Structure 1
Amino acid sequence: MDQELSVIEEQEAIKILSEKQESHFLDFKSKDLSGKGLQKIVTAFANADGGELYIGIIDEKESVPELIERWEGFKKLEQFNQLIQNIYEEIKPVPQLEIEFMEIEGYECRGIVLKVTVYKSANIHYTSADKVFIRKSAQTLELKGKQEILNLKLSKGLISYEDQLIGNYSVDELLESEELNSFLKSYSPRTNPEEYLKKQRLVRKSGAEILPTIASVLLYADLPSAILPRKCAIKITRYNTNEDIPSREHLEEQITVEGNVLSQINTTLLNIKRIIDSLKVLDETKLVGANYPVEAIQEIIVNAVIHRDYNISDDIHVLIFNNRIEVRSPGNLPGYITPDNILEERFSRNPTVVRLLNKYPDPPNKDIGEGLNTAFQKMQEMRLKPPQIFVEQNKVIVVLPHESLAAPEEAVLEYLEANNEINNRTARKLCGIHSENSMKAVFIRLRDRGLIEMVPGKLGPATTWRKVER
């Protein structure tokens, strides 16, 4: 194993010691950390949302004469070998991680600290004692009992709640549902309801009975909320305020949308459109109608419905404020998905719902996997700030802010503050402008104001622009 040592400046070390606080994503441990203790923390991060562990830093609760003295690592790299072996040889399966050895320039006497960056995993990781840990806030907690581990598997998407059987709803009731029979009228090839349910694995044998799956209820039962043991509706709430935390006096309207997933999506979108059509937002000096891109709202609602964790008994909440729309979906992001990679990676918690919803004549998830990308694109085209994605208290929160992007000229100048030059293609993507000529006109306006100039020697398609140094 390659062991490279990074030498950092004193200020960077001080920043680590003073500004970083132990949290859901960060832990500090002394060099006396045992192999078993290390396994607990690493598996807990991998089983939750990932995180960073520094080994060789004294707990902030312990009193030291100077802050820098909290940095107390090993003198030699080889002294970490046993700890590293505990990760790679004892944890099953081995988590994805990176290790970095760090030493402070001029403070070699303080020793070497090991930084372990653990990535969120789609697997469940076990310690050598066959135990499962998870990170919650700044704590490393053991999951005890089969149900807790089962819930973790469901939240990660390792097993799907949608495939579980349900006993209080008969196959005969499902066969008579209006939604299933209406759907099959347009389904090709022509199939009777019983044959369709069997082929799609929406009913299975359990002992002497044939029972429907939760996915079949979500898709085709006329009122899933009355059948499933967990909440599965959508609540739309209108608050007449811009406040981050609204009070009851701000509440203007609340609607509960029930029904199968397609009905929920369609009814929710109709209600959101009705509400935002009546919204007024402040534009410079006057009130104007709120102008959200319908496609962005649709993609985020569809994404929430098809990817939410149905094992959690909670509804999807759509909160409509004067200056934003928030969509709160139950459950963490599945598998290895994080807010940082959500636009590039794909992982479906409810693949049966996703696949069969796509079989409708005009499916709401027509471009599977492109939902959030479309939302970002449409917000940019309408010159609004991009959606914001958070994971908070077992919920995925997507916020559509009604805030204008900077003008194209401002966006170009801001880009050139951090970069030496910019071309037409990059600028169009940055500004949400499709036409090369329209983007060229922006460059010309900035040139005429003496703010930018063409980079010499780059012509035609290779043309780039740079800031004029004053």
Structure 2
Amino acid sequence: MDILNLYERVKNTIQLGESHFREFKSALEGRPDRKVPRQVKKVCEDIGEALVSFANADGGELLVGVEDNGLITGVPHSEEDIEVMLNAYKTHVHENSFLPMVNHVQLNFDGLTILFFAVSKGTSEIYQLPDGRCVRRQDKSTVPAPMNRILFERQEVKSRGFDREFVDGALSTDLDLTLVQSMADTYLRGMSVEKYIQQIGLGEYAGSGLRLRRAALLLFAKDIQRWHPRSQVRIIKVNGTELLSGEKYNVLSDEIVYGNIFELLVKSWESLRPFLAFKTEFGMDAKFEQKFIYPELACREAIVNAIAHRDYVIQNGIDVFIFDDRMEIKSPGLLLSTISLNDLLELKNVHESRNSLIAKILRENKIMRELGEGMRRIFELMEEFELSKPNISSIDNYFSVTLYHKSVYSLRENEWINLFSNFNLTNLQKKIVVLGMNDRLISPSDIYQALNTNDRNIYDREVTALRVTGILKEIRSNLEASKMARQNNKEKQAIPRFKIELPTLDNSFSSETAIFVANLPDDIDEEKLEKHFHQCGKVDRLIVPRDKHNGNRSRGFAFIWFNNQGELQSALKMSGSMISDKVLRISQYNPPKVHARRQSGKVRGRR
């Protein structure tokens, strides 16, 4: 048996540096060239605060006598003072707080004394400092944490401690030793499997051998079915927007993947990914590329969160339902009582892990973010793809994340935005452009609200860009807005100052016989489109705007002119007809009479 002694463990901890689970404290103070021992009282206060913060979070280790950069400077105090410091975990916490200590010892490194403390994550109580304050660890900092934010219900106790329970009869040979060794080499090259398991807290050496915690098996088991028969992800593809039963049963495929956590992370993504691709394109680099319904990273983040944060006490697996209009990822276990749905919806950095050991391993291997960080990234990615906000819920003993295949803009808003396609607008600029639909006048406060920011730099950047292109036109100067605000007793930012100028085609053709065609295939060509409308009459002119940055493909819409009103009316009646697999949306084109750039694209016209 390769036993990791405490000296090696502490040495490795120092090499790894401070983190969410590790903190160093100096026992010295003063100028760099005149360091003196710190007051014992102050050191004890630091020890109490650090240990309470770790116990209220995910557990951790504290080293006294080590600088922030990992330099060992030692504890030059008397043995009597050192004994006082070693007892700070009792004397400098609230009298009713009993910390779940793992270690509190004095060690000698090259003639220098350091103090090593290790504390587990609390599961049955909230820990306080002598003055009643609650603090908890967040990344590399200790932050205030009101008790009502870290109180949890009794039923959470078992699920919170489940991954840390020792499992009788489990041996290191029950683990995928190749996988564990690769993790150990990533942690510190040359470290053995047994020492790695002990170093990261997944096992402890006893007289009978290495005792494994449940987290070790969930993460690395060779045969996960033996230890947790529902360590699985089920992927169900549904034909439609609702799951039906009986004769109307509409499940197209139903696949279950099993494995330990690391296997699930790979297998579940491999099984899910094909369902997310909706087309394959020949890209600019002469390679076929898959285009996805949802942002890939958002889907992966949702799967990782489900696997890492699920309640493993519940003997159910993770379910992923893929509907035509959405994807639902359902993870066993309600949201922890210390986290609210509002915190997640407001994209706050909520740091809480039901499975603290599992989360620690995945986080330190850069596989996952904390729940709040991961959820925030999902929301950001959906917004970047201009898709509706995800929905999250915590009901019926499941936590669910739903991603929608639905544009954040309405049909009319998308058609409006398409009219500005030549300008390659950013997502934020599109939000401003939408404000100007139907000749609506726009105030600065409207823009700030649409951009969901108070940052003046962001406002200036996007507004300036739109003004330079001529899309955003100033209708009232800053001075005029100030005067109107005083007259109307309003905030100046609420005074309309801009309007949107719609780009128009040149006026060499009358718009009275023109139609706007939306939802075209991106591979449409002018000849095919003209042929589609030949039954309506003679096409006098046809423009298909194209994207020069995407293989000169169609932008999905076109403008077509006919000779007279009769032909125009016939063309309008073709709304709902199909080209390839696309249902066309057709409306009359009514451009405002303003000067703007001419739409680019191939033109087929006759004079």
Counterpart contact for 1:277–1:290, Cα < 8 Å: yes
Q: How does 1:12-31 map to 2 (within 5 A)?
A: none
Structure 1 residues 14-69: Cα deviation after superposition (integer angstroms, max 9, x where no partner): xxxxxxxxxxxxxxxxxxxxxxxxxxxxxxxxxxxxxxxxxxxxxxxxxxxxxxxx
Aligned match of 1:422: 445
Q: CA deviation at 1:180?
A: 1.0
Name the Cα RMSD after superposition: 4.1
Structure 1 residues 388-428: Cα deviation after superposition (integer angstroms, max 9, x where no partner): 001110100110011111242576479xx9x9752755533
Aligned match of 2:237: 238
CA distance in 2, matches of 1:403, 1:449: 33
Counterpart contact for 2:305–2:371, Cα < 8 Å: no
Q: CA deviation at 1:384?
A: 0.3
Q: 1:209 to 1:123 in 2, by over 3 A?
A: farther
Q: CA deviation at 1:206?
A: 7.4
- Structure 2 alignment gaps of length 5 or more: 1-123, 127-146, 281-289, 414-430, 484-490, 499-607
Instruction: Please identify, of 333-342 and 319-328, the stretch whose mean Cα deviation from structure 2 is larger.
Output: 333-342
Q: 1:439 to 1:243 in 2, by over 3 A?
A: farther
Counterpart contact for 2:243–2:251, Cα < 8 Å: no
CA distance in 1, matches of 2:338, 2:274: 36
Q: What TM-score results when the alignment is normalised by the length of structure 1?
A: 0.56
CA distance in 2, matches of 1:120, 1:250: 45
Aligned match of 1:215: 215
The number of residues matched between the two structures is 307
**Which residue of 338, 357, 376 maps to 1:352?**
357
Q: 1:352 to 1:275 in 2, by over 3 A?
A: same
Q: Which protein is bigger by CA-based radius of gyration?
A: 2
Q: 1:225 to 1:421 in 2, by over 3 A?
A: farther
Q: CA deviation at 1:306?
A: 0.9
The residue type equivalent to 2:354 in the other structure is: R
Counterpart contact for 1:423–1:465, Cα < 8 Å: yes
Q: How does 1:224-373 map to 2 (within 5 A)?
A: 224-228=224-228, 231-243=230-242, 249-278=249-278, 291-342=293-344, 343-344=347-348, 345-360=350-365, 363-365=366-368, 369-373=372-376
The residue type equivalent to 1:395 in the other structure is: Y
Q: Determine helix, strand or coil for the equivalent of 1:211.
A: strand
Counterpart contact for 1:241–1:322, Cα < 8 Å: yes
Aligned match of 2:158: 154
Q: How does 1:92-131 map to 2 (within 5 A)?
A: 122-123=150-151
Q: 1:468 to 1:185 in 2, by over 3 A?
A: closer
Q: Determine helix, strand or coil for the equivalent of 2:335.
A: coil
CA distance in 1, matches of 2:353, 2:477: 47
Counterpart contact for 2:390–2:404, Cα < 8 Å: yes
CA distance in 1, matches of 2:179, 2:260: 8
Q: CA deviation at 1:234?
A: 0.8
Counterpart contact for 1:239–1:246, Cα < 8 Å: no
Aligned match of 1:194: 194
Aligned match of 1:172: 173
Q: 1:301 to 1:435 in 2, by over 3 A?
A: farther
CA distance in 1, matches of 2:399, 2:392: 7
Structure 1 residues 203-244: Cα deviation after superposition (integer angstroms, max 9, x where no partner): 23678564311110121223323322x522111111111126
Q: Determine helix, strand or coil for the equivalent of 1:242.
A: coil
Q: 1:200 to 1:393 in 2, by over 3 A?
A: same
Q: What TM-score results when the alignment is normalised by the length of structure 2?
A: 0.44
CA distance in 2, matches of 1:411, 1:341: 29
Q: Determine helix, strand or coil for the equivalent of 1:329.
A: strand
CA distance in 2, matches of 1:328, 1:453: 52
Q: CA deviation at 1:435?
A: 8.9
1:389 is the counterpart of 2:392: yes
Percent identity (aligned): 21
CA distance in 2, matches of 1:466, 1:245: 52
Q: CA deviation at 1:293?
A: 0.7
The residue type equivalent to 1:377 in the other structure is: E
CA distance in 2, matches of 1:294, 1:275: 11
- Structure 1 alignment gaps of length 5 or more: 1-91, 95-118, 126-148, 281-287
Q: Determine helix, strand or coil for the equivalent of 2:276.
A: helix
Aligned match of 1:184: 184
Q: CA deviation at 1:182?
A: 2.9
